[in-house]
């Protein structure tokens, strides 16, 4: 970025400032920059280049990474699936508490299969969602 502003301003003497806004994706263009801003001005800052990284940028990037779509599912949907998984597993326990002599016939698996079919996910994705929930300390559903 050494001589670029000088070359541009030598061709057009009316240019007094050049500002570049760095955005992470097209959807945030038009809003304040979410990565950084590079500013050159003359005579305001004597032709020096200023580079400003968004405050809290590191935390912002970490949070964006967490909310990414995984397995074609948003974090919000994965959280909903997790809650339904927990409730499905609890259904078997509740049935046992209500009638300890009733045959269980692996009711939990039946209820989990219903959740997987509802969201069109595999057992592997179910496991990954559970792991994410425990890693991220997602809250358990309230009854």
Q: How many CA atoms lie within 13 A of 88 on its CB side?
A: 21
Whole-angstrom distance, CA of residue 51 vs CA of residue 9? 19
Whole-angstrom distance, CA of residue 111 vs CA of residue 87? 9
pLDDT tens per residue across span 6-47:
565 556 566 677 777 777 766 667 777 778 888 777 666 666
Put simply, whether the predicted model's pTM sits higher than 0.85 gets the answer no
**Sign (positive or negative) of CA dihedral 137, 115, 73, 131:** positive
Asked if 20 and 38 count as a contact pair (C-beta separation under 8 A), the reply is yes
Q: At what angle do helices 107-119 and 123-136 cross, to 10 degrees?
A: 90
**Sign (positive or negative) of CA dihedral 109, 127, 84, 86:** positive
pLDDT tens per residue across span 97-133:
887 777 766 777 888 999 999 999 999 999 999 999 9
Identify the DSSP state of 73: B
DSSP strand pairing (17-22 vs 49-53): unpaired
Residue 3 has pLDDT above 90, yes or no: no
Whole-angstrom distance, CA of residue 86 vs CA of residue 39? 51
């Amino acid at each position: 970025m050494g001589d670029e502003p000088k070359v541009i301003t030598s061709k057009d003497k009316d240019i007094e400032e050049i500002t570049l806004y760095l955005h992470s994706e097209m959807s945030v263009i038009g809003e304040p920059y979410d990565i950084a801003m590079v500013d050159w001005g003359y005579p305001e800052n004597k032709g020096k280049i200023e580079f400003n990284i968004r405050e809290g940028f590191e935390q912002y990037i970490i949070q964006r990474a967490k909310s990414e779509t995984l397995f074609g599912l948003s974090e919000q949907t994965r959280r909903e699936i997790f809650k339904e998984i927990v409730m499905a597993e609890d259904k078997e326990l509740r049935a046992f508490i209500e009638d300890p002599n009733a045959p269980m016939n692996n009711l939990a698996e039946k209820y989990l299969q219903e959740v997987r079919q509802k969201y069109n996910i595999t057992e592997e994705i179910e496991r990954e969602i559970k792991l994410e929930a425990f890693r991220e300390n997602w809250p358990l559903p309230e009854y």
